[in-house]
Amino acid sequence: MRHWDDQEVQQLERLLARGAPVEVIAKALKRSTGSVTRKIQRFKKNRPAPKPARRPAVTATSKRKCLACGRLFRSEGIGNRLCGLCKDNLRDMGHLEGVTK
Ligand SMILES: [Zn+2]
């Protein structure tokens, strides 16, 4: 069995975080699914409290005026200039395709 180097472990971590199935991870790393499964199990044991999915940092001061309705809202990040309501409205109309997750 080949040794796992840091890069492979990192890639495994990334794929896992994205919710990739073992088969996909195995293919990406050119390893057997058994090898990947064992690695994941060890991984989980070593990290009993995995970090939640990466989230943009929201600071207390990131309040912005919504571009559409002028309401103050808590911005989720750079480029977020619409409040949740307006964003939902736009999304319903299909105008925000690909802008938000
Ligand atoms: Zn708004």
* Distance (Å) from CA 67 to ligand 1 centroid: 6
Q: How far apart are CA 15 and CA 36, in angstroms?
A: 11
Q: pTM score > 0.95 for this model? A: no
Q: How far apart are CA 50 and CA 33, in angstroms?
A: 22
Which own/partner pairs from 54-57 qualify as long-range (CB within 8 Å, at least 24 positions apart)? 54/17
* Distance (Å) from CA 71 to ligand 1 centroid: 6
Q: What's the structural domain count of the chain?
A: 2
- Full domain range(s) for residue 10: 6-46
What local confidence, expressed as pLDDT, does residue 92 receive? 83
Verify that 68 and 100 share a domain, yes or no. Answer: yes
Verify that 60 and 81 share a domain, yes or no. Answer: yes
Residue 91 has pLDDT above 60, yes or no: yes
* CA-wise closest residue to 58 among 45, 73, 47: 73
Specify if 79 maps to a domain.
Answer: yes
In whole angstroms, what separates CA 49 from the centre of its chain?
Answer: 17
Residue 90 has pLDDT above 90, yes or no: no
Specify if 1 maps to a domain.
Answer: no
